[in-house]
Amino acid sequence: MTEKYEVIVVGGRTAGLSAALVLGRARRHTLVVDAGEPRNAPSAHGYGRAPRSTATC
């Protein structure tokens, strides 16, 4: 059986899944294509905090 899609979303990260959700709610036949590889590997630096800003409030 051949499937027909109106929209193909490439990438299942935040933006791709958000787009697919909105399209699904709009009753569009949507396919999400993702490699399945997580991209949230630990960073050598960063420590989970916002960078210092040079601007003063």
Does residue 52 surpass a pLDDT of 70?
no
Q: What is the mean pLDDT of residues 10-33?
A: 93
Which is more confident, 29 or 14?
29
Q: How far apart are CA 10 and CA 20, in angstroms?
A: 10
> Binning pLDDT at 50, 70 and 90, where does residue 14 land?
confident
Q: Chain-wide mean pLDDT for the chain?
A: 82
Question: Phi/psi class of residue 42: alpha, beta or left (left: φ > 0; alpha: ψ in -120 to 50)?
Answer: beta
Buried b (16+ CB within 10 A) or exposed e, 24-49: eeeeeebebeeeeeeeeeeeeeeeee
Task: Answer yes or no: pTM beyond 0.75.
Answer: no
